[in-house]
Amino acid sequence: MIRDGGISGVTILIPPSFSEIEIYKNNKIKLSSGILDKNVSKLAFDNNLGGFEFLSGIPGNIGGAIAMNAGCYGSEIKDIVEEVLILERDGELKSYNNEEMQFSYRKSVIRKDQIIIEATFKGMHENKSYIKGKMDEVISSKKVSQPSKVATGGSTFKNPKEVKAWKLINSSGLSGYKIGGAMISPIHNNFFINTGNASAKDFEKLGEFVIHEVEKHHGIRLEWEIHLIGDSIDEI
């Protein structure tokens, strides 16, 4: 989430059009980092590749998914990545294998000054009906359990090992709580909704309030899953 004061300096955006695709034997594909996650799942379906179905439920592009080891419904990027090509700040290209990526829950070795260029993935051969069934399951589960057709910031906090973040928020009596134009979704308490005029500051203040209240009620400090970047209005 970009704070209301914006970002000082140059911002490099990897667009969805940065999406070269190479399909190999042995159930492998190489993808440029701009391709959208949902399009990766469709590509895998078209090529009878299983293991990519969870990506149909994740927004954003594959480069971002790699950097944060994105996942849902029991699957993560680390399960399918073989090799990642990185552009270093000095212009050098460097290749990282799965182990060197040091994947963990919503983390990888990728630093803020590195850019993911492309990655090679390996799935497993499956028939299309099986893959389609898994994709439909992910999409339908998401529609039932998460807010839809409204602007959200996605999953707000990482899940602690002990319990899901939404349960901690709910049991702290915060479902539907609102600060400014930002509101905790009553459908899924780990999603914040923009009710129409929310500022980034509203979202950040709501998040910090939730962190405080959950720690007060449960002794567990939630960690942001959303990355907060840029300057606040007060700082410019």
Cα–Cα distance for residue pair 156/227, rounded to 1 Å: 9
Identify the burial level of 114 via C-beta atoms within 10 angstroms of its C-beta, where 0-12 means exposed, 13-18 middle and 19 or more buried.
middle
* pLDDT the model gives residue 10: 84
* pLDDT the model gives residue 235: 59
Q: Which domains does the chain have, with CATH numbers?
A: 21-142 (3.30.465.10), 146-235 (3.90.78.10)
Q: What tens-digit pLDDT sequence spans the chain (236 residues)? A: 999 999 988 888 899 999 999 999 899 999 999 999 999 999 999 999 999 999 999 989 999 999 999 999 899 999 999 999 999 999 999 999 999 999 999 999 999 899 999 999 999 999 999 999 999 999 999 888 999 889 998 899 999 998 999 999 999 999 999 999 999 999 999 999 999 999 999 999 999 999 999 999 999 999 999 999 999 887 54
Which amino acids are annotated catalytic? 106, 155, 225
* pLDDT the model gives residue 186: 96
Global pTM?
0.85
Q: Is the dihedral of CA 116, 120, 124, 127 positive or negative?
A: positive
* pLDDT the model gives residue 233: 80
CB 48 within 8 A of CB 98: no
